[in-house]
Structure 1
Amino acid sequence: MKKITIVLSVLILTACGDSSQVKQVKDYVYDNIDSTLTIGNALDNRNICNKTKWDSYKDERDRNIVEYTCEFKKDRPNQFLKLTFSGMAGNLKTMLVDKNINIALDDYRKFKEEEERYKNVKYPHYTVYKNHIDAKARSHIEAKAKLVIYDNLKKALLEIEKSNAFARYKENRRYLLSNKATIKMEESYLAPSIYGYDDDPTTGILSYNPFFQWDFFYNSPIYISAKDGSLSNKDLAKRIKQIEEDVTSIKKILEKHGLIFTRGKSSLVNLYNDDSRLAYEYLLQGNSAKNITLNTKDGKKTLSVKNYQELLTYLEGVENGIARGIVEKVIDPYNQNITNKINQFEKREKDIKTESYQQKIKWVLIGERNPSLMSCELEFKADGYPSVKSDSSMLSSCFRNAYKSNYVDQIYNQPIMNFINRVAN
C-alpha cells in the first residue's frame, strides 16, 4: 500500500511539471534581446500578467508547438477603454454648434475676414463659433450678424434723425431741390456737382455718393468755390459748407455705433455693399412711400415701404427666416447626430468592460534545432462583443517587449483600439 502511494505521487509530479518541449523553449536565451534571461525567466515574471500558462501540442502538420499565454490584468485595458471613449465624447462636444450664439460687430468682422481667407475650404474653422461648423451653416452666421448690424443701424439712424446736423441737412436739401432751375441757370458750371449729370444723377451732392466718400467735398469744385469765396451766390456757398459739415457730423454718429459706409477697408464694419446701405440712403432722401429694389438670391425684388424703419423690419424678417431655416435644416440635425454619438460613447465608457485580454506566443520545435518563434499575438475581448486580435506584422515588437516585460501602449493598446474603432462606427 505504501509502494502504490509513492508511485502515484511520482506520477502527479510528472504531470504537473513542464514537458520536455516546454522546457526546451523556457531554457532558451535570446542573446540579441537580453543574454542574462532565459525565455522562462523573462515570461513567467511579468507584473502585467494576472497568470501565465505553457502548453505543448502537435499542430495539423504534425509539428511540435509550444504555446505561452499571459492573461493580462484588466485594470490597464479598462482604463484605456474609459479614457478613449471619454476622449471621443469630449472631442465631439467641441463640434456642437451653438445656435443661440450672440454675435457682436467685431465677431462679424472676424467672420468676414475668415470667410474670405478660407473661401475655398469646405470645412473652415470660424472665429465666431470657436468650433467646427458645417460649411452649409455660413449663412446662419451671416444672418445672425446682420440682425446685430440692423439693430445697431436702427439706433444710429434714429440718433441721426434726431440730430441738429440732419435737420439742417434736410433744410438745405429742400432748398437746393426747390431752387434747382435758378441755381442751374446762375451756376451752370457747378450744377452737375450739385444735382448730377443728366446721364448720371448719382454724382451730385444730393445723391447718396457724397455720404460714401470721406474726401468728396475736399475734391469738389463746389467746396473749393465755396471755401475760396469765388462762388457768386453767397447763400449757396454757405449752404454747401453746411452740408459738408453736416455730412461729417452724420458719419461721426455712424462711427459711434461701429458702422461706416465708405469705399475701401476700414476698422469699422463697412456696409458699403450691404443692404443696410439702402436704409441709410432712405433716411437721407427723406421718408416717403417709395419702391425699393433689392438684389436677392432669387433675383431683383421690388419692395414698397413707407420709411427706412419698414425697410429695416423687412430686412430683419429675411435674416430671421434664414437663421431659423438653417437651424431647422442644418444645425439641429447636425447637433442631434453629434449628440447621439456622444451618448453612445458615454454609455460605452460606462458599460463596456474587459472580459479577457491575452497574449499568446508560439514556437515551433524541429529536431534538435533552437526554438523558432512562430507567432506573437494579442487577443482582446470585451463583454458582449467578438474578440479582436492584433496585427500579425507586430510579431517582432510584440515578443521583444514581452521578453523585456514592457507594457508599450503603442503595441498593447493596438487591438483594443481596433475594437474601439469597430464598435464606434
Structure 2
Amino acid sequence: MKKITIVLSVLILTACGDSSQVKQVKDYVYDNIDSTLTVGNALDNRNICNKTKWDSYKDERDRNIVEYTCEFKKDHPNQFLKLTFSGMAGNLKTMLVDKNINITLDDYLKFKEEERRYKNVKYPHYTVYKNYIDAKAKSYIEAKAKLFIYDKLKKALLEIEKSNAFARYQENRKYFLSNKAIIIKEIEEMEESYLVSYLVDDIYGHDDDPTTGILSCNPFFVFSYFHGSTIHIHAKNGSLSNKDLAKRIKQIEEDVTSIQKILFKYDDFSFYMQPSYKSVNLYNDDSRLAFEYLLQGNSTKNITLNTKDGKKTLSVKNYQEILAYIEGIENGIIKNVIERVIDPYNQNITNTINQFEKRTKDIKTESYQQKIKWVLIGERNPSLMSCELEFKADGYPPVKSDSSMSSSCFRNAYKSNYVDQIYNQPIMSFINKVAN
C-alpha cells in the first residue's frame, strides 16, 4: 500500500510540472536579445506581471504550440487611462474661448496683419488670443476693438470738455459764427486781397466742404493743420487792422493745437500711418461725429447714420448720446457672435471635457494580458509565432495590439519593467475608439 502511494505522488508531481514542450521553450536562449537569460528566466520574473502561466497544446493543424500568458498588473493601465483622459480634458480647456476678452489696439493690429496674410484662404480662422473660432470671430474682434476705442474717446472728449482751451475755443467760435458777415467784410478790406479767399476758407471752410474750416471738427483730427497757413501768417504779421480779430484768430489756433494734444494722448496708433496699415483708431468717422456734437453742445439734433440695415435717423442732444448709440451697435454685434458662435462652440467643448473627466473617474481596467506563442517542429529550435497584447476595460470590447509589432513585442518582454510604446499601444487604440 505504501508503494502505491509513492507512485501516485510521483505522477501528481509530473502532472503539475512543465510539459517537455514548455521546458524546451523555457530553456531556450535568444542570443540576439540576451545571451545571459533563458526564455523562462526572462518571462517568469517580470515586475509588471501579476501572474504568469504556460500552456502547451496542439492547434487545428496538429502542431505543438507553447503559449505564455502574463497577466499585467492593473495599476499601470489604470494610471495611463487616467492621465490620458485628464490630459485630453486639460487640452480642450485651453481651447475654450473667453467671451469677455478685452481686445487691445495691439491685438487688433496683429489680427489685421493676420487677416492680410491669409486673405486668399477660403475659410480663414481668426485668432482670439490662443483660441480659435470660425471666421465670424472677425466681427467680434472688430467690435471689441471699437468699444475699446470709444471708451478712450469718451475719456478724451471729457478731458477736452473740461479744459480751458475748449472753453476759450467755444467762446471764440461763437463770436466767429455770430459775426460772420462783418468778419468776412473786414477781411475783404485787407490790402493783400489775393489772400482774402484763403483766409475766409480757413476760418469758415470751403463752400463745397465746410468741415475744412477752423470752426469745424476736422482740424482737430489733422496733424499740424494750421502750420504755415494764412491764418498763422496773418496772426503773426498783424496784417489785419482789427487787432481783436487777429488776437481771436491766434487764440483759436492755439486752442486747436492744445485740444489736438489731448486727442493724441489717448491714441495708440500713429495717425500718419499708411492707409494699408491703418486700423480703427480715434481718428475715424464715428469719432469725428461725436466730436462734432461736442462742439455743438446740448441741443436736440436729428442725425442720419448708415447702418447695415440701411439709413437710421436718430434724435440726440450731445456726444454722449452719439457714443452710447454706436457702442450699442458694437455691443449688439458682440452679443450676437457670443450667442450664435462662441456659446455653442464653448458648450460643445465643455460637453467633451465632461465626457473625458467622467471617463477619467469611471473607466477601469478589467484585464490586460500578453500572450506569446511558439511552434515546435521536431528537433528544431522553438519558432516564435506571435506576441500580442489584449486590453479590456469594464463594459467595452477587448482591444488587441497590432500583429505587425510581434517582434518588438517579444523583445520588449525581456525588460523587467515593460512599460513603453508597445505596451501602451492597445490602450491608446482603446482610448481613441472611446474618445471618438
Structure 1 length-normalised TM: 0.88
Name the SS of the counterpart of 1:270 in structure 2: coil
Q: Give distance in 2, aligned partners of 1:236 and 1:409.
A: 90
Match of 2:104 in 1: 108
- Structure 1 segments of 4+ aligned residues over 6 angstroms from their partners: 265-269
Contact 2:218/2:288, CA 8 A, preserved across alignment? no
Q: Give distance in 2, aligned partners of 1:192 and 1:355.
A: 90
Contact 1:258/1:269, CA 8 A, preserved across alignment? no
> How far off its partner does 1:7 sit?
2.9
Contact 1:357/1:380, CA 8 A, preserved across alignment? yes
Q: Give distance in 2, aligned partners of 1:311 and 1:109.
A: 22
Contact 1:153/1:259, CA 8 A, preserved across alignment? no
Q: Give distance in 1, aligned partners of 2:64 and 2:358.
A: 46
Q: Give distance in 2, aligned partners of 1:370 and 1:228.
A: 115
Contact 2:97/2:128, CA 8 A, preserved across alignment? no
Q: Structure 1's 84 and 225: CA in aligned 2 closer, same or farther, altered over 3 A?
A: same
Candidates 324, 345, 359, aligned match of 2:356: 345
Q: Structure 1's 270 and 393: CA in aligned 2 closer, same or farther, altered over 3 A?
A: same
1:132-143 mapped onto 2 (5 Å cutoff): 132-143=132-143
Contact 2:161/2:167, CA 8 A, preserved across alignment? yes
Is the deviation greater in 53-62 or in 131-140? 131-140
> How far off its partner does 1:197 sit?
2.7
Name the SS of the counterpart of 2:23 in structure 1: helix
Is the deviation greater in 246-255 or in 87-96? 246-255
Q: Structure 1's 387 and 346: CA in aligned 2 closer, same or farther, altered over 3 A?
A: same
AA of the residue aligned to 1:245:
E
Contact 2:47/2:417, CA 8 A, preserved across alignment? no
Name the SS of the counterpart of 1:218 in structure 2: coil
Q: Structure 1's 278 and 372: CA in aligned 2 closer, same or farther, altered over 3 A?
A: farther
Candidates 191, 194, 203, aligned match of 2:200: 191
CA deviations over 1:39-60 (Å, ceiling 9, x no partner): 1111111111111111222223
Match of 1:333 in 2: 344
The reply to whether residue 52 of structure 1 matches residue 52 of structure 2 is: yes
Match of 2:216 in 1: 207
CA deviations over 1:165-208 (Å, ceiling 9, x no partner): 11221222233333444544512232222333333433332333
> How far off its partner does 1:421 sit?
1.6
Contact 2:305/2:312, CA 8 A, preserved across alignment? yes
1:309-320 mapped onto 2 (5 Å cutoff): 309-320=320-331
Q: Give distance in 2, aligned partners of 1:260 and 1:241.
A: 29
Q: Structure 1's 209 and 150: CA in aligned 2 closer, same or farther, altered over 3 A?
A: closer
Q: Structure 1's 231 and 14: CA in aligned 2 closer, same or farther, altered over 3 A?
A: farther
Contact 1:52/1:71, CA 8 A, preserved across alignment? yes
Match of 2:24 in 1: 24
AA of the residue aligned to 1:398:
C
Residues matched between the structures, number: 419
Q: Give distance in 1, aligned partners of 2:14 and 2:212.
A: 112
Match of 1:221 in 2: 230
Contact 2:108/2:145, CA 8 A, preserved across alignment? no
Candidates 285, 306, 314, aligned match of 2:317: 306
Any unmatched runs of 5+ in structure 1? none
Contact 1:261/1:270, CA 8 A, preserved across alignment? no
> How far off its partner does 1:112 sit?
0.5
Percent of pairs with identical residues? 80
Match of 1:35 in 2: 35
Q: Give distance in 2, aligned partners of 1:268 and 1:244.
A: 29
Match of 1:71 in 2: 71
AA of the residue aligned to 2:397:
P
Contact 1:114/1:126, CA 8 A, preserved across alignment? no
The reply to whether residue 417 of structure 1 matches residue 428 of structure 2 is: yes
Contact 2:304/2:314, CA 8 A, preserved across alignment? yes
1:93-172 mapped onto 2 (5 Å cutoff): 93-101=93-101, 103=102, 107-119=103-115, 120=118, 122-127=124-129, 131-172=131-172
Contact 2:109/2:279, CA 8 A, preserved across alignment? no
Match of 2:394 in 1: 383
Q: Structure 1's 297 and 364: CA in aligned 2 closer, same or farther, altered over 3 A?
A: farther
Q: Give distance in 1, aligned partners of 2:8 and 2:305.
A: 104
> How far off its partner does 1:406 sit?
4.3
> How far off its partner does 1:155 sit?
3.6
> How far off its partner does 1:66 sit?
1.8
> How far off its partner does 1:263 sit?
4.1
Q: Give distance in 2, aligned partners of 1:50 and 1:274.
A: 76
> How far off its partner does 1:299 sit?
4.8
CA deviations over 1:345-378 (Å, ceiling 9, x no partner): 1111111111111111122223322222222111
Contact 2:112/2:279, CA 8 A, preserved across alignment? no
Q: Structure 1's 90 and 10: CA in aligned 2 closer, same or farther, altered over 3 A?
A: same
Q: Give distance in 1, aligned partners of 2:360 and 2:127.
A: 29
Q: Give distance in 1, aligned partners of 2:385 and 2:295.
A: 88
1:255-404 mapped onto 2 (5 Å cutoff): 255=264, 257=266, 262-264=271-273, 270-273=281-284, 275-404=286-415
Name the SS of the counterpart of 2:37 in structure 1: coil
CA deviations over 1:221-275 (Å, ceiling 9, x no partner): 3223323444555434322322222122223333555578944389998322363
Q: Give distance in 1, aligned partners of 2:316 and 2:360.
A: 59
Q: Structure 1's 274 and 413: CA in aligned 2 closer, same or farther, altered over 3 A?
A: farther
Name the SS of the counterpart of 2:340 in structure 1: helix
Name the SS of the counterpart of 2:198 in structure 1: coil
Contact 1:193/1:203, CA 8 A, preserved across alignment? yes
Q: Give distance in 2, aligned partners of 1:5 and 1:173.
A: 129
Name the SS of the counterpart of 2:34 in structure 1: coil
CA deviations over 1:83-105 (Å, ceiling 9, x no partner): 1111122222222233344x3xx
Match of 2:247 in 1: 238
Match of 1:87 in 2: 87
Q: Structure 1's 297 and 398: CA in aligned 2 closer, same or farther, altered over 3 A?
A: farther
> How far off its partner does 1:286 sit?
4.3
Q: Structure 1's 123 and 168: CA in aligned 2 closer, same or farther, altered over 3 A?
A: same
Q: Give distance in 2, aligned partners of 1:360 and 1:182.
A: 108
Match of 2:192 in 1: none
Match of 1:250 in 2: 259
Contact 2:300/2:316, CA 8 A, preserved across alignment? yes
Contact 1:29/1:38, CA 8 A, preserved across alignment? yes
Q: Give distance in 2, aligned partners of 1:370 and 1:261.
A: 83
Contact 1:212/1:261, CA 8 A, preserved across alignment? no
Q: Give distance in 1, aligned partners of 2:245 and 2:61.
A: 113
